Amino acid sequence: MQADILFDLDGTLIDSSPGILASFARVLAAHGLKPAVPLEASLIGPPLAVTLRQVSGLGDTGDEALLARLVEAFKADYDSAGYLTTEVFPGVAAGLAALATGGARLFVVTNKRLVPTRRILEALGLARYFSGIHTRDETDPPAPSKSAVTRRVIARYGIDAARACFVGDSDEDAAAARENGLAFIHAAYGYGAAGIAERPAAVLDGFDELPGLVDRLVAAAA
C-alpha cells in the first residue's frame, strides 16, 4: 500500500481522557477552583490553554497570570502521572502494524504537546510505526493551527495529497484535511461518536477497517 496516512492522536488512536480529566481535577483543586463545566471527554482536543480557560471558568477576559499557572501545573501533573493511564483504542496497534508493513507511511499530527505525545507513544509501543510525530509546539513560535502543522508535514516529507489521507475525529481534523487537499476519514468511534459538521470521504467505525478504506480511496484517486 503506497499511501501516506496522517493521524490525529487523542480520540483517534488513543483514549487519553482518564488521565487528562484527572489532571484537570487535581490542578483545579490545588488552586482552590471547581470545574466550571463537567469534566468530560468532549473537552479534549483544543490546545491546553483554550481548554483550561473553559474548565476553570476564566473565559477570554480572565486572570492571565492564573491561567499561566494552571497551564504549567497541568503540564507538570500530566507529564509525570496523568499520561500513564492512556489506553489504545481497540485494533489500533495491530492496524498500525499492518499499515506500516504494507508500505504506508504513517504520521501523527496533533494539538497535544510534543513531550507527552512522545512519552505516550513510546510507552504504548506505537512510536515505531510512525515516520513522523508532529505537534503545534514543536516549533517556536507554535504553529497557529493543526492545518498549519499538516501543511508543514506534507512539504517536509514530499507527500502526494492524491495518495494521502487524514484520519481524525473532529471538525478541526476535517478542516486540516480539506485545507491541504487530503481525503478525510472520520474516526466515528471514541470521541468522534457525536459526528462532525462536514461530510467525510469515508467513515471509520472500527480501526480494523482502515487498511481497506485507504486502499479504496487511493485506488479511486489513481
Tally of structural domains, the chain: 2
Is 9 strand, coil or helix? coil
Q: In terms of residue numbers, what domain contains 65?
A: 17-84
Name the catalytic one among 4, 8, 15, 173. Answer: 8
Radius of gyration of the chain (CA): 17
Torsion angle (degrees, nearest 10) of CA 31, 36, 42, 48: -40
CA atoms within 13 A on the CB side of 197: 6
What is the amino acid identity at position 210? L
Is residue 71 located within the same domain as residue 110?
no
Residues 6+ away with beta carbon under 8 Å from 65? none
What is the C-alpha to C-alpha distance for residues 103 and 115, in angstroms, rounded to an integer?
28
| pTM over cut 0.85 | yes
85's grid cell: 493511564
| CATH number of the domain that residue 133 is part of | 3.40.50.1000
Q: In this structure, are residues 88 and 126 in contact, taking their beta carbons and an 8 Å threshold?
A: yes
Strand 4-7 with 164-168, pairing: parallel
CA atoms within 13 A on the CB side of 82: 23
What is the C-alpha to C-alpha distance for residues 45 and 9, in angstroms, rounded to an integer?
9
User: Does the annotation mark 8 as catalytic?
Assistant: yes
Is residue 102 located within the same domain as residue 193?
yes
129 secondary structure, DSSP code: G
Is residue 92 located within the same domain as residue 179?
yes
Is residue 159 located within the same domain as residue 51?
no
Q: pLDDT 10s digit of each residue in the chain, 222 long?
A: 689 999 999 999 999 999 999 999 999 999 999 999 999 988 888 889 999 999 999 977 778 999 999 999 999 999 999 999 999 999 999 999 999 999 999 999 999 999 999 999 999 999 999 999 999 999 999 999 999 999 999 999 999 999 999 999 999 999 999 999 999 999 999 887 777 888 999 999 999 999 988 888 878 876
Is residue 109 located within the same domain as residue 57?
no
Residue 129 is predicted with a pLDDT of: 98
Is residue 11 located within the same domain as residue 111?
yes
72's grid cell: 504549567
Q: Rounded to an integer, what is the distance from CA 53 to the centroid of its chain?
A: 20
